[in-house]
Every structure is written in structure tokens, then in C-alpha cells.
Amino acid sequence: MEAIFERLSSGQIVAVLSILAGVIVAIAIILAISKYKLQSLAEDTALRRERQKADLALRELLVERRTAAGEKLDPDELLAIVASEPEADDVNAELAKRFGRLETDAAAIEDALLRVMAAGSVNKKLVLGVMDELLESGAQPEVILAAVRPLCGVAKDRPRPVEHAV
């Protein structure tokens, strides 16, 4: 090792040390980025798991409500409740806020909200628009719920996804 240092000038030794330091820094950066990506992946997986649990809980609640009320349960409606997407979560949050403004029976609000949540994204946006107009005009909560229910549609009335079309 001494023989190598004796042959190199001081400038060359500085260059070799700089290269070694650069390699060490590069390895440290690569490890930090890898650690960050793995943490991000773990958090994303946990978030997806929580969304799946929430979707399952929504389906179970829908089944309980319908069977308790003696309504016939449509399997297509259960299948229509798809996994949440970020944009859908925003729409769902806005729906929950609008329904929360209504001053009426909590069970009626929950039933209507569950029906809207099971509807497609187009129907959800339509419900938001109708609710905004009715809330602005000062309509009674019962009138708003009555106006919203038909907009939810029934799963068999909605067009099927391409992969399920006959």
C-alpha cells in the first residue's frame, strides 16, 4: 500500500480519496432512496388494506340494512361497490358532508348515503349537484332525501362493466 502512495503525487492522492468519498456518498444515497421507497410501498400497502376493509364494512352494512328491512338483496349491487379510488374518496367525502348538513333522522340519512355510495361515479356527481341546488334553495331534508334516492339507481339498471357484459 505504501508503494502505491509513494508513486502517486499529492494531487493524485487527493483525486483517489475524492473518488472513494464519492463512491461512499453514492452508495449512501442509493441506500437512503431504497429505504424510502420500501417505506412508501409499505405505507401504500397498508392504505390499500384499510380501503379494502372499509369497502368490506360498507358491503356488510349494506347487507345488514337490506336484510333487516326485509328487502331483497341484489348481488349485482354488492359487486357494483368497487374499491375506492382517490377521486372517488373525494366525491364520497363531499357526499358525506352534504348529507351531514341534513337535519333529519340519522337512519334515513345513513340509508340514503349508503345507496348513493353504492351508485356509480356519474350518479354521485349528479347527486352532489342536486343536493347543492336543493340546499341553496332551502329545501326540507325529507324532500332532499326523496329527490336523491331515485338518482342512485339500481345496480341492474346501471350499465355493466365491459368484462361482465353479455
- What's the total number of domains in the chain? 2
Q: What tens digit of pLDDT does each residue of 40-71 get?
A: 999 989 988 998 898 888 878 878 887 888 87
Contact 82, 160 (CB under 8 A): no
Shared-domain flag, residues 119 and 82: yes
With respect to residue 69, please indicate whether it lies within any of the assigned structural domains. Answer: no
Shared-domain flag, residues 92 and 138: yes
With respect to residue 112, please indicate whether it lies within any of the assigned structural domains. Answer: yes
Shared-domain flag, residues 120 and 153: yes
Shared-domain flag, residues 83 and 143: yes
Residue 13 has pLDDT above 70, yes or no: yes
- The pLDDT score that the predictor gives to residue 21 is 97
Q: What tens digit of pLDDT does each residue of 18-45 get?
A: 999 999 999 999 999 999 999 999 998 9
With respect to residue 59, please indicate whether it lies within any of the assigned structural domains. Answer: no
Following DSSP, what letter does each residue of 24-77 receive, concatenated? Answer: HHHHHHHHHHHHHHHHHHHHHHHHHHHHHHHHHHHHHHHHHHHHHTTPPPPHHH
Residue 159 has pLDDT above 80, yes or no: no
Q: How far is CA 45 from CA 37, 50, 89, 95, 140, in A?
A: 12, 9, 17, 26, 43
With respect to residue 25, please indicate whether it lies within any of the assigned structural domains. Answer: yes
CA distance 60 to 136: 34
Mean pLDDT (whole number) for 140-160: 73
Shared-domain flag, residues 130 and 83: yes
Looking at per-residue confidence, does 75 or 144 come out higher? 144
Q: Which amino acid makes up residue 116?
A: V
- The pLDDT score that the predictor gives to residue 93 is 87
CA distance 12 to 162: 67
Task: Give the residue numbers spanning the domain of 113.
Answer: 74-163
CA distance 148 to 116: 8
- The pLDDT score that the predictor gives to residue 83 is 46
Shared-domain flag, residues 85 and 138: yes
With respect to residue 136, please indicate whether it lies within any of the assigned structural domains. Answer: yes
Number of residues written out for the chain: 166
With respect to residue 153, please indicate whether it lies within any of the assigned structural domains. Answer: yes
Looking at per-residue confidence, does 107 or 59 come out higher? 107
